Amino acid sequence: MAPSDHRRPYKRPAISDQQRRRDHSLLRQAQNRLDAQQRARCLASSILSLENPETDSVPDLDSTTGQEQSEVPPKEFDVRQASKLRGVEARRWFARQLMLPEWMIDVPDRLSRDWYVFARPAGKRCFVVSSNGATVSRLRNGSILHRFPSALPSGSRSRDASGTSQSYSIMDCIFHEPDQTYYVIDILCWRGYSLYDCSAEFRFFWLNSKLAESGACGPPSQYHRYRFSLIPVYNCDHNGLSAAYMGAVPYMKDGLLFYNKEAKYQTGNTPLALVWKDENCSQYVIDTDNQGNIPIQQQVVLELQDDGKLNTSDDPPVVFGCLDSDFVHKSGLHSGNLLRFSIGDNGLSFMEERLDKADLCYIGKSNRARAFADSYSKIVFQHMVRHSPLKMDDFLSSITSSDDQENQLNDIEMTG
């Protein structure tokens, strides 16, 4: 029955610091949970299937940015918001955001006139986004490679003058481990100015003039952790092709990239950018397995469909074969699974330049880090490498013959 002690706190703050710490933590956790929820919700299926990019159902991720959103082209907006994505969703999203060259399985027409060529550096393909005083590089699977200060616009805190937080830049790069350098292969956005819809010709011009200007090509310093570097890009004529193929570069080469001059930056697989390799310009011509060994038989990854068909990642997909439903059922496979096959002795057979038959042997499910099946061009390129590769000479001769043709045309014109 002791009456309560009426002693009151004397010269003491009303709340203990421990309670404050607890409250701060709870607040942070609640906020993080909301963020995670928000992220998950914004992965509305429409964002993921970008086949239909103009869909209006992309939810507003952050109502406070609603103002600026209308001024920002939707693609870049997605890129910045997508940095909040995680896991499988992020892998899919980021993989779809890069322009993915097809493998060169035949030589395009007008190579010397319409195309650029350059030596692709060996390394990690990534997106580099600088904004808000920080620079973040993300691999194709969406995971962060580095987060660092850089001399790119808004790329570090020290350079507040270089732009507001709305000003951000996005580049398509390859990070080359041996010299710790980001080699910029394309530019998507500079200081908030979108270059997605510009031709490659313009993008390369812009890249050449702006990157050096920013100081990003300078040596690393406290506010610029990694060096950025331009790659010499050549017209795809005889000289250009030889320079790209044989010329000395400070990086290890991994094949040649061909870009059509008129091509806009198109996300996903595109025939307007092509990759080609041989043993002289790449260590990785033939695909290796998980252990880094070259399998005796070529392996391919295909996506299983509802009806048992095995598709490539192309749009529209190419059907490489079909599994019978008993097998699918017994092996516990589902539509959407990525499956690994080896190509048997009968190889691939073509009819009128189209795939007719493929001799597939099932191996198992693919590594789950994979986001997509192989593309048609990759499978065919790999097949060609093993059987009848496309050679440098083929390019050179195609150029020479088309040059001749053009000369002839000109001649006719002049005499006419």
Partner 1 sequence: MAMEVTQILLNAQAVDGSVRKNAEENLKQFQEQNLPSFFISLAGELANEEKPVESRRLAGLILKNALDAKEQSRKYELVQRWLSLDVVTKVQIKACLIKTLSSPSSDARSTASQVIAKVASIELPQKQWPELVGTLLSNIHQLPAHTKQATLETLGYICEEVSPDAVDQDHVNKILTAVIQGMNSSEANNDVRLAATRALYNALGFAQANFSNDMERDYIMRVVCEATLSPVVKIRQAAFECLVAVSSTYYEKLAPYIHDIFNITLKAVNGDEEPVALQAIEFWSSICDEEIDILDEYGGDFSGDSNITCFYFIKQALPLLIPMLLDTLLKQEEDQDQDEGAWNIAMAGGTCLGLVARTVGDEIIPLVLPFIESNITKPLWRQREAATYAFGSILEGPSPDKLIPLVNVALNFMLTALVKDPNNHVKDTTAWTLGRMFEFLHGSTLDASIITPSNCQEIITVLLHSMKDVPNVAEKACGALYFLAQGYEDMGPSASPLSPYFQDILQAIYAVTRREDAGESRLRTAAYETLNEVVRCSTDETASIVMQLVPHIMMELHQTLEAQKLSSDEREKQNELQGLLCGCLQVIIQKLGSSDATKYAFLQFSDQLMGLFLRIFGSISATAHEEAMLAIGALAYATGSNFEKYMPEFYRYLEMGLQNFEDYQVCAITVGVVGDLCRALEDKIFPYCDGIMTQLLKNLSSNQLHRSVKPPLFSCFGDIALAIGENFDKYLMYTMPMLQNAADLLAHTSGADDDMVEYTNFLRNGILEAYSGIFQGFKGSPKTQLLMQYAPRILQFLDSLCMEENMDDVLMKTAIGVVGDLADTLGSSASPLIQNSVSSKDFLNKCLASDNSMIKESAEWAKMAISRAISF
Do you know the residue count of the chain?
416
Q: Which residues from 148-167 bind partner 1, rule CB under 8 A?
A: 148-149, 157
Among 51, 60, 68, 279, binds partner 1 (CB under 8 A): 60
Does the footprint of partner 1 cover residue 27 (CB under 8 A)? no
Does the footprint of partner 1 cover residue 329 (CB under 8 A)? no
Does the footprint of partner 1 cover residue 86 (CB under 8 A)? yes
Burial grade of 63 (CB within 10 A; 0-12, 13-18, 19 or more): exposed
Q: Which residues from 1-20 bind partner 1, rule CB under 8 A?
A: 1, 3, 6-8, 10-11, 13, 17-18
* Side-chain-facing half-sphere of 132: CA atoms under 13 Å: 4
Does the footprint of partner 1 cover residue 387 (CB under 8 A)? no
Contact segment (CB under 8 A) with partner 1 among 82-90, 183-191, 273-281, 402-410 equals: 82-90
User: Are 50 and 267 in contact, with CB atoms under 8 Å apart?
Assistant: yes
Question: What token pair was written down for 134?
Answer: 């920080």
Among 52, 54, 57, 393, binds partner 1 (CB under 8 A): 57
Question: What token pair was written down for 144?
Answer: 């962060």
Pick between residue 13 and residue 416 the one whose CB is nearest to partner 1.
13
Pick between residue 137 and residue 299 the one whose CB is nearest to partner 1.
137
CA 177 to chain centroid: 18
Among 80, 81, 85, 89, binds partner 1 (CB under 8 A): 89
Among 326, 334, 364, 412, binds partner 1 (CB under 8 A): 334
Contact segment (CB under 8 A) with partner 1 among 102-110, 120-128, 255-263, 329-337 equals: 329-337
Among 63, 291, 388, 415, binds partner 1 (CB under 8 A): 63
Q: How far apart are CA 373 and CA 304, in angstroms?
A: 9
In the complex, the smallest distance separating the C-beta of residue 366 from partner 1, rounded to whole angstroms, is: 16
Among 53, 133, 220, 389, binds partner 1 (CB under 8 A): 133
The amino acid present at 260, given as its one-letter code, is N
Q: How far apart are CA 28 and CA 16, in angstroms?
A: 18
DSSP-derived 3-state class of residue 331: coil
Does the footprint of partner 1 cover residue 354 (CB under 8 A)? no
- Number of residues located near partner 1, criterion CB under 8 A: 45
Among 283, 325, 335, 400, binds partner 1 (CB under 8 A): 335
- The pair phi, psi for residue 255, each rounded to 5°, is 85, 180
Pick between residue 55 and residue 266 the one whose CB is nearest to partner 1.
55
Does the footprint of partner 1 cover residue 369 (CB under 8 A)? no
Place of tokens 């616009």: 153
Question: What token pair was written down for 229?
Answer: 């570097």
Q: How far apart are CA 206 and CA 297, in angstroms?
A: 44
Among 336, 342, 337, 302, smallest CA distance to 322 is for: 302
Q: Which residues from 281-320 bind partner 1, rule CB under 8 A?
A: none
Q: How far apart are CA 114 and CA 347, in angstroms?
A: 34
DSSP-derived 3-state class of residue 324: coil
In the complex, the smallest distance separating the C-beta of residue 153 from partner 1, rounded to whole angstroms, is: 16
Place of tokens 């980021």: 94
Contact segment (CB under 8 A) with partner 1 among 26-34, 236-244, 268-276, 387-395 equals: 26-34
Pick between residue 149 and residue 153 the one whose CB is nearest to partner 1.
149
Contact segment (CB under 8 A) with partner 1 among 177-185, 206-214, 332-340, 370-378 equals: 332-340
- 30-to-27, 33, 61, 65, 348 alpha-carbon distances in Å: 5, 5, 18, 21, 55
In the complex, the smallest distance separating the C-beta of residue 105 from partner 1, rounded to whole angstroms, is: 32
Q: How far apart are CA 344 and CA 348, in angstroms?
A: 9
The DSSP secondary-structure symbol of 146 reads: E
Does the footprint of partner 1 cover residue 52 (CB under 8 A)? no
DSSP-derived 3-state class of residue 7: coil
Instruction: Reply yes or no: is the peptide bond before residue 74 cis, omega within 30 of 0.
Output: no
Interacting residues with partner 1 (CB under 8 A)? 1, 3, 6-8, 10-11, 13, 17-18, 21-22, 24-26, 28-29, 32-33, 36-37, 40-41, 43-46, 48, 57, 59-60, 63, 86-89, 133-134, 147-149, 157, 334-336
